[in-house]
Structure 1
């Protein structure tokens, strides 16, 4: 006869703290989210705009009716420029001091105010210059900081001349309708081929490129483009975009480019005008009582405007606290 043993079943306590695992995961995700949001809030406005423009270019669809991919600017020069920009950004993260020595100035544009978006300007220019783009005498090239309108010299000038033709004024008039309402900086750049020129007007290709850029700038100024937004750059034969060994390459290198910066010009005149108005009101308030004004220099710098003449040396004798 077997004696049956009764095993006492021990009841295990129920786990009531399992919710802490999910709660900890949730708090970790929330912490990571707020760290990313804080990092985005520290970005500068121009850097954030450049980032959004780059992302927009990647996902931007091609316009209907265009069989080529010219609007993507996937030329070797543009690709090399983008690769150089990416390498410079990577070098900045690794060694900022070394990266600063390799960066080129932005054509001496010191006012870092964003102008009109380059994507919108490019669309308007493609619509206005569609016939010239189809004929191959005009190109639109966009990189990180510039939208460049390349105009063939045969469209603007006679051979060996820097005097703008009537057709040049017609083309520039269409361009001015788009670039005049915006405040973006403009750089008019002249280029030539490598065939030397020497005549009574120009002793080198450099002078010819500068003269042609100047002529285009003068036409734009006469059409109402603000002169404080523009500057001239002459590159001569030293920055070719095509092979000068062929006739077609030399024809492509003879051009004038209008570069539109993503930065815009902002005049400081309204601020000074407002300050002058405040000073004028203060002077009027002072002269209403006595009719005379006394300007007293302060020991720590600056001046004091007063009408009191009972003790003129009181201000100068007072010592700084």
Structure 2
């Protein structure tokens, strides 16, 4: 009787796992090659790879997960938003905000002083450096330009109440027409004295109404900056004026920088030895005939900042 030979399981090869391992290594190598190929940002390659992966794992070709379809140019524009803003833009924005605050304060002052604005006795102007409140002298002072009028302190009080809570620098300028005190023996000195006194009195009243004296200054400019060069009476009355200037933050910072003394040079009188060492010139006096009039050293300090921008 013929018997079929029993197949022995021991005859199977034990190296068949190497085939699966080799296939896995090949797929892994192909995967890294694809990843390396798409390492550079390319939206089309990324979409193709995503579609292939979804098809391989889900078995649904043609279906890809929803994703952002922005073009590279739009992505570049969005990334530009994250860049730091330039300093010039920040400076301009800060300056504009300060000007807006100044405009609001000027409008409030105009509302309070509307009566005298309608009567053309004062005006409020806003410029790049701040707000100028120009008051005619006959509104604040009597005809002699030295004593305050009846309504002068009240007008200054209204202005002071609006400025007392402000952190800004306030400058008071006194101006006068060149024809004033022309009959005096020394009219120029009288005009300087009058404008300085007027500016100081206005600043003192502002200080009494709450404006900090540390951020106020008063100066008399006599007839050096006339508002009009005409010879009629109206022009002369316009030249007699008081200007209350409220500086912007930028102007205040510039003025503070100008007033800062960084380096000072002390100038000493020449000694006798220095005069002897100086070469003789026809215009020089002999050293033994020079008698210095200055007994102590003279210190030259920087001049104060300009009263107005």
1:23 maps to which residue? 71
Matches within 5 A, 1:245-264: 245-263=231-249
Q: In structure 1, what is the equivalent of residue 104 of structure 2?
A: 120
Larger radius of gyration: 2
1:39-118 equivalence runs, <5 A: 39-40=85-86, 42-43=87-88, 47-52=92-97, 117-118=101-102
Please show how residues 1-321 of structure 1 align to structure 2 within 5 Å: 23-35=71-83, 38-40=84-86, 42-43=87-88, 47-52=92-97, 117-197=101-181, 199=184, 203-263=189-249
Distance (Å, rounded) in 1 between the aligned partners of 2:231 and 2:47? 76
TM-score, L = length of structure 1:
0.51
Q: Report the alpha carbon displacement of residue 217 of structure 1 after superposing the two structures with TM.
A: 1.2
Instruction: Give distance in 1, aligned partners of 2:213 and 2:90.
Output: 27
The offset of 1:127, in angstroms, is 1.1
Structure 1 residue 251: Cα displacement: 1.2
**C-alpha displacement of 1:53:** 5.4
Query: Per the alignment, in what secondary structure is the counterpart of residue 257 of structure 1?
Result: strand
1:284 alignment counterpart: none
For residues 183-213 of structure 1, give each alpha carbon's deviation from its aligned partner in whole angstroms, at most 9, with x where no partner exists: 2211011111121526489724222211111
Q: Tell me the distance in 1 between the aligned counterparts of 2:146 and 2:139.
A: 12
Distance 1:19 1:145, change over 3 A: farther
Q: Secondary structure at the match of 2:197?
A: helix
Contact 1:194-1:244 at 8 Å conserved across structures: no
Query: How big is the shift at 1:51?
Result: 3.0
| Residues 46-99 of structure 1, C-alpha deviations (whole Å, 9 max, x = no match) | 643223456x6xxxxxxxxxxxxxxxxxxxxxxxxxxxxxxxxxxxxxxxxxxx
Q: Given the superposition, is the C-alpha separation of residues 128 and 196 from structure 1 closer, same or farther in structure 2, using an over 3 Å criterion?
A: closer
Change (3 A) 1:201 1:168: farther
Segments of 5+ residues of structure 2 without an aligned counterpart are 1-43, 49-68, 254-309
Residues 205 and 236 in structure 1, CA contact (< 8 A), matched pair in contact too = yes
Give, in angstroms, the shift of residue 237 of structure 1.
Answer: 1.5
1:49/1:232 CA distance change after superposition, 3 Å: same
CA–CA distance in structure 1, aligned partners of residues 89 and 70 of structure 2: 36
**Matched position secondary structure for 2:151:** helix
Two-structure CA RMSD over aligned residues (Å): 3.1
Distance in 1, Cα, partners of 2:186 & 2:201: 14
Seen in structure 2, the aligned counterparts of structure 1 residues 32 and 245 have a Cα distance that, compared at 3 Å, is farther
Shift of 1:222: 2.6
